[in-house]
Amino acid sequence: MSLLSVQEGGPLTTIQDAGRFGHLRVGIPTSGPMDREAFLLANRLVGNPDDAAVLECTLVGPRLELTDARLIAVTGADMSPTVNGAAIPMWEAVPLKAGDVLRLGPARAGVRGYVAVAGGLDTPRVLGSRSTYVRGRLGGLGGRALRKGDRLPLGAPAPARPRRLRAGRAPAYGTEAEVAVTLGPQDDRFTAAGIAALLEGPYELLPQSDRMGARLKGPFIEHTRGHDIVSDGVPMGGIQVIGEGQPIVLLADRQSAGGYTKIATVCSFDLGRIAQLKPGGRLAFRRVTVAEAHAMLRDSVRALDTAIE
Amino acid sequence: MTIWSEPRLLPCGDRAVSVELGDEVNRELNARVLALEYLLQQRRLPGVGETVPSYRALLVYYDPLVIGYAALEAALRELCAAARPEVLPPARTVELPCCYEGELGFELDAAAEKLGLPPAEVVRLHAGSDYYVYFVGFTPGLPYMTGMPDRLTIPRLVNPRTKTPPGSVSIGGIQCCIYSVESPGGFWVLGRTPVRMYDPEAADPILLRAGDHVRFRAIDRAEYDAIAADVAAGRYAPAIVGGS
């Protein structure tokens, strides 16, 4: 059997595919990649379908060995990938031989790196998905982060030529990011000054941020009458504002419902920018209409579809 | 009763919209939310993805590259008009054993003192009620329920716990919930059920559904341990009556 062996797991390396759909209504989050763009490109570079399972590495990457020859691609955060000690390029397919050791180091820019292997990771699907939800001990490998000694089965690769990103298409991850938001669902529970504070920003990303949510610190956001609501569904990218007037952006492993006011919602195509912002980085929110958001989504899909040579 | 005469459609970014039917905890309102979800699932509109019901709103995820916002809004408003509780299939009643003794009900005595009732009376009132599951979520499988008599209405804990054991049966405000995974909590823990609300190993990991009714049966510690052993061995299924 073709395997990817884990020699070192890194602090939080998990298996993620496009996500687990259909179970949010009973509280099981979608999970899936925090940076969908880097995830998709990793798969496309090695000729995988868009929903194939890859590794998502966090802050520091793993050390991995392949039992047979495969194309791999590393995207997302710059973790200075090497094969047998020699640097390899990111954002392009690299052919590896049996026994090659791929190593990803600490992230120099960005937070989350993605490793796709041609054929995809072939761990069992749980509720229709290979994505790992660590808090719920679901999916991936035993519902947990990878560790030394794990052996991941690989699927059969489709015939593919090595591809790479067009010049200038790789995203640059800095210490500042701006994301598009639509106001609501509970913008009517905030004062004009509160909404202005959110849009003025910027907010600092706190180290307590994780796959559930990005915790932020910045200008005080004022409510009209308290932060409690009759609990309702928490959308992906929802910006919850609790008692201290500070926002939390709810992400892939978020709770499905909650009882706090949500002032605005980050658009799907910009969530990867938050995933790649390091603690201490600054985040700004820009208000758009739903129609503008849909036009921007179409542009982002087009950009992704033309990103690879 | 706060049920809007027209639903409020509240966009949530580029891929979701919250269909808000009202603004309170009320069974009629919640049944309309569940009916809307049911009708939307039956309609099988291309581009409509997951739905998340809650007390008073249905969150609808959609793919704007497949269905435009105007078409989605028109369809949702039309379905809202038809979303009456009568369209729903018959509800189930699930019986859950619950041990209110000792360490399993570690806040029973404190809650009883706060309520000014003897602990045995709190148990009798709690176990004697019929509970309604408005929706399931926050953590996987956690039911949001009401049904207790007014005498058990209690303010939430001032200092929430950082860890609550799964299976903890607890009350706060007018609500009752059962913690499904180890998690922080602000409700008073009266007892524990050996039945799992969420079992990641099971083919169907979630026990309760929105619209279910729940009854608790008070058990002693010996029966709790026996059922817990059966649950661990995969030999236990709670009694479920009704449904389709």
**Domain harbouring A181, CATH code:** 2.40.100.10
Question: For B235, which DSSP code?
Answer: -
Average pLDDT over residues B28-46: 97
Q: Are residues B81 and B114 both part of a single domain?
A: no
Which of B16, B61, B64 has its CB closest to that of A297?
Answer: B64
Is A254 in the same domain as A186? yes
Q: Among the residues of chain B, which ranges form H helices? A: 27-43, 69-82, 108-115, 119-127, 221-232
Q: Are residues A10 and A74 in the same domain?
A: yes
Q: Could you give phi then psi for residue A274, rounded to 5 degrees?
A: -70, -40
Domain's final residue, options B37, B54, B86: B86
Domain assignment of residue A278, given as a range: 176-305
Tokens of A9: 């797991």
Average pLDDT, chain A: 96
Residues B200, B167, single domain; the answer is yes
Q: Which of B11, B57, B205 minimises the CB distance to A233?
A: B57
Distance of alpha carbon A19 from alpha carbon A268, whole angstroms: 14
Burial class (CB in 10 A: 0-12, 13-18, 19+), A308: middle
Distance from the B118 Cα atom to the nearest Cα atom in chain A, whole angstroms: 31
Number of A/B CB contacts below 8 angstroms equals 150
pLDDT at B177: 96
Do B69 and B163 fall within a single domain?
no
A251, part of any domain? yes
Q: What angle (nearest 5°) sits at the alpha carbon of residue A250, between those of residues A140 and B176?
A: 90
Given an 8 Å threshold on Cβ–Cβ distance, is A255 in contact with B137?
yes
What phi-psi label fits residue B84: left (phi over 0), alpha (psi between -120 and 50 degrees) or beta? beta
Q: Do B137 and A27 touch (CB under 8 A)?
A: yes
Closest residue to A232, CB basis, from B55, B68, B142: B55
CA-nearest of A113, A114, A116, A124 to A153 is A124
**Segment A57-75 mean pLDDT:** 97
B 183-222 near A (Cβ less than 8 A): 198, 200, 205-206, 209-210
Residues B100, B78: one domain? Answer: no
Question: Which residues 33-52 of B are in CB contact (within 8 Å) with A?
Answer: 37, 49-52
User: Quick one: A144 and A180 in the same domain?
Assistant: no
Q: Is the pLDDT of residue A302 over 80?
A: yes
Domain count within chain B: 2
Report the pLDDT averaged over residues B66-72: 97
Option in B23, B53, B142 nearest A230 (CB):
B23
pTM check: above 0.80: yes
Q: Does A169 fall in a domain?
A: no
The CA distance from B126 to A292, in Å, is 51
Q: Which residues in chain A are contacts of B136 at CB distance < 8 A?
A: 25-27
- Final residue of a structural domain among A107, A138, A153: A153
**Amino acid letter for position B169:** V
What whole-number distance in Å separates Cα of residue B102 and Cα of residue B121?
Answer: 16
Using the predicted structure, report yes or no on whether residue B1 has a pLDDT greater than 70: no
Is A164 among the domain residues?
Answer: no
Res A78: pLDDT: 98
Residue A286: how many other CB atoms lie within 10 Å: 13
In a domain, A279, yes or no: yes
Please indicate, yes or no, if residue A160 is contained in any of the structural domains. no
Does a structural domain hold residue A297?
yes
HEC letters along chain A: CCEEEEEECCCCCEEECCCCCCCHHHCCCCCCCCCHHHHHHHHHHCCCCCCCCEEEEECECCEEEECCCEEEEEEEEECCCEECCEECCCCEEEEECCCCEEECCECCEEEEEEEEECCCECCCCECCECCCECCCCECCECCECCCCCCEEEECCCCCCCCCEECCCCCCCCCCEEEEEEEECCCHHHECHHHHHHHHHCCEEECCCCCCCEEEEECCCCCECCCCEEEEEECCCCEEEECCCCCEEEECCCCCCEEEECEEEEECHHHHHHHHCCCCCCEEEEEECCHHHHHHHHHHHHHHHHCCEC
- What is the per-residue pLDDT for B244? 65
Say if residue A132 is in the same domain as residue A203.
Answer: no
Count CB neighbours of A269 within 10 A. Answer: 23
Which of B68, B86, B104 finishes a domain? B86
Q: Å from B16 to nearest chain A CA? A: 7
Which residues are registered as beta bridge partners of A53? none
Q: Environment class of residue A305 by beta-carbon count within 10 Å: exposed (0-12), middle (13-18) or buried (19+)?
A: exposed
Asked if the C-beta of B160 comes within 8 angstroms of chain A's C-beta atoms, the answer is no
Q: Which residues of A touch B10 (CB under 8 A)?
A: 184-186
If asked whether residues A208 and A249 sit together in one domain, one would say yes
Quick one: A199 and A289 in the same domain?
A: yes
- My answer on whether A93 and A127 are in the same domain is yes
Closest CB from B12, B24, B210 relative to A185? B12
Task: Tell me the CA distances in angstroms from B119 to A104, B99, B172, one per residue in order.
Answer: 58, 13, 16
* pLDDT tens digits, B181-212: 988 888 999 999 999 999 988 888 999 999 99
Q: Which residues of B touch A184 (CB under 8 A)?
A: 10-12, 18
Give pLDDT, residue B186.
Answer: 87
Report the C-alpha gap between A126 and A118 in whole angstroms. Answer: 21
**Nearest CA-CA distance, residue B24 and chain A, Å:** 6
Within this chain, do residues B104 and B51 fall inside the same structural domain, yes or no? Answer: no
Q: What is the chain A residue with the closest CA to B15? A: A268
Inform me whether the C-beta atom of residue B16 falls under 8 Å from chain A C-beta atoms: yes
Is there a single domain that holds both residue B149 and residue B209?
A: yes
Cβ within 8 Å, pair B20-A185: yes
Verify that A220 and A107 share a domain, yes or no.
no
Query: What's the pLDDT at A159?
Result: 86
**Domain identity same for B82 and B102:** no
Q: Could you tell me if A298 and A190 lie in one domain?
A: yes
Q: Is residue A53 part of a domain?
A: yes
Nearest Cβ partner for A290 among B14, B138, B140:
B14
Residue-wise pLDDT tens digits, A134-143: 999 999 999 9
Contact A231 B55 (CB under 8 A): yes
CATH number of the domain enclosing B237: 2.40.100.10
Does B236 share its domain with B123? yes
- Range of B98's domain? 92-242
Same domain, B67 and B109: no
pLDDT at A216: 97
Please answer yes or no on whether A25 and B37 come within 8 Å at the CB atom: yes
Once rounded to an integer, what is the mean pLDDT over residues A228-249? 93
Check CB contact of B90 with chain A, cutoff 8 Å: no
Are B21 and B84 a contacting pair, CB within 8 Å?
Answer: no
How large is the average pLDDT for residues B66-78?
97
Question: Mean pLDDT, to the nearest integer, of A293-298?
Answer: 98
Q: How many domains does chain A have?
A: 2
**Chain B residues whose beta carbon lies within 8 Å of the beta carbon of residue A293:** 13-14
Measured between CA atoms, the residue of chain B closest to residue A185 is: B10
Q: Indicate the SS3 state at residue B167.
A: coil
B208 is written with which tokens? Answer: 């309760």
Q: Decide if A249 contacts A213 (C-beta within 8 A).
A: yes
Per-residue pLDDT band at B172 (split at 50, 70, 90)? very high
- In angstroms, the separation between the Cα of residue B120 and the nearest Cα of chain A is 31
**What chain A residue is nearest to B198 in terms of C-alpha separation?**
A136
Contact list in B for residue A213 (CB cut-off 8 A) is none
Flag whether A165 is in a domain: no
SS3 assignment, position B6: strand
Report the pLDDT averaged over residues A280-301. 98
Would the CB atoms of B52 and A257 count as touching at under 8 Å?
yes
Domain shared by B176 and B65, yes or no: no
CB contact under 8 A, A135 and B210: no
Point out the least confidently predicted range of A7-16, A158-167, A268-277. A158-167
State the pairing for strand pair A247-250/A213-217: antiparallel
- Sign of the Cα pseudo-torsion (A29, A32, A35, A36, in order): negative
Do A184 and A63 have their domain in common? no
In this structure, the answer to whether residues A132 and A59 fall within a common structural domain is yes
A60 and A109 assigned to the same domain: yes
Question: Final residue of a domain: which of B86, B117, B139?
Answer: B86
Residue B33 belongs to a domain with what CATH number? 3.30.1360.40
Which pLDDT score, from 0 to 100, does residue A303 have?
Answer: 96
Return the ∠ at Cα A56 (arms to A52 and A58), rounded to 5°: 175
